[in-house]
Amino acid sequence: MNPMSDAASVKGSNVRRSHKDVIVSIRLPKGLVDELRDIQDVNHFMDLSDEIRFIVRRYCLRFLNSGNSSMQAPIELIAQQKRKEKLIEELSKMIDTLKSDDDSSAMKEEEEKIAGSDNG
């Protein structure tokens, strides 16, 4: 039984699959590679790429079969997280600007008070 054919049947005719293999290159931290190699031995995969394909296929099938609208694809989650981080950064800059404006206006008021008391 081909797990990818199950994935294609979930979405119906909207899913187009090419029968050609595509090579994908990824960078992984050494610790993660070590963990994947340990899992590879336990699951009796021929090499690390088989293990990674199995993990990706399993996750994709779970995502496609879930029917759960609250579950988001990893790319959407990453994009959402980046938008949140950018928003937080922009808000922090605004807060800093407002604080510096308040500090400078407070200094001007203080200088005016001092200048007014010197004149009076």
Quote the pTM value.
0.38
Q: How many Å separate Cα 10 from the centre of its chain? A: 26
Closest to 89 in 3D by CA, of 97, 78, 100, 101: 97
Tell me what pLDDT residue 91 has: 92
Torsion angle of the four alpha carbons 75, 35, 63, 85, in this order, in degrees rounded to the nearest 10? -30
Spans of all domains in the chain: 1-70, 72-120
> With 90 as the cut, is the pLDDT of residue 119 above it?
no
**How much is the CA Rg of the chain, to the nearest whole Å?**
28
Q: How far is CA 104 from the centre of its chain?
A: 39
**To the nearest whole number, what is the mean pLDDT of the chain?**
76
pLDDT value at position 18? 62
- Is the pLDDT reported for residue 4 higher than 50? no
User: Length of the chain in residues, anyone?
Assistant: 120
Q: How far is CA 34 from CA 29, 37, 48, 50, in A?
A: 9, 5, 10, 15
